[in-house]
Amino acid sequence: MSEEVTRRLSSMETKMNTAVEGLKKELATIRTGRASPALIEHIKVDYAGVPTPLNHIAGISAPSAKLLVIQPWDQGSVHLIEKAILKSELGLTPHIDGSIIRLNIPPLTEERRQELTKIVHRRLEERRVALRNIRHETINELKELEKSKQISQDEHKRASTQVQKITDSFMAQVEQIGRDKESELLEV
């Protein structure tokens, strides 16, 4: 394959990889029955007048499957963190224990599990659409290269086949990530 086609395929892979990694991060913020620091590290705390991610101003750990412990590096920020957690839509109630904040993770109800599963499916579909758009964009670029006689028709067909293989591989990753998250959600 020509250098230009290789560059376009590499660019497509990079974009698709970014989309899949973004999906992983997004799904990590969806609450399951198990405590995970990823659940709260994205919460923005109004620290010194600046919205700051929680993991930038405190250490977060999960000593057990049902408990998260937040240890602020600045003891004066304990109440700011508490306020930010209460404002988040996670439905968690922080308990202040001196300079440590404890978050008990209650078990999910069956109804809430179903709602979260729907949210996961919606996020998966958004990523599938993003991957298809990236594929479409790359195929259009290859058509333009063929039109301008930079690549031959045969090379265009080979490259299009390669584009589809790469897309299928990333789609399979998205499906696997979705199955893993769904089984995590439905786990009692």
Split into its structural domains, the chain has a count of 2
State mean pLDDT over 13-25. Answer: 93
In a shared domain, residues 117 and 155: yes
Amino acid present at 146: E
| CATH code, domain with 156 | 1.10.132.20
Planar angle of CA 162, 167, 168, nearest 5 degrees: 100
> What's the pLDDT score for residue 188?
58
Residue listed under structure tokens 């660019």 = 11
- 118 and 168: one domain? yes
Angle 171-125-20 from CA coordinates, rounded to 5°: 45
- 60 in the same domain as 43: yes
Query: pLDDT digit string (tens) for 69-107?
Result: 989 988 888 888 888 888 876 777 888 888 899 988 877
Domain boundary among 104, 128, 163: 104
User: Beta strand pairing status for 58-64 and 94-97?
Assistant: unpaired
pTM of the model: 0.73
Asked if residue 80 and residue 13 are part of one domain, the reply reads no
Give φ, ψ of 90 to 5 degrees.
Answer: -80, -20
Please give the average per-residue pLDDT across 158-184, as a whole number.
93
Q: Do 154 and 97 fall within a single domain?
A: no
Residues 176 and 135 in one domain: yes
Domain boundary among 104, 130, 155: 104
Q: What percent of the chain has pLDDT above 90? A: 38
Domain boundary among 71, 104, 137: 104
Residue 52 structural domain: 37-104
Checking if the pLDDT of 34 tops 80, the result is: no
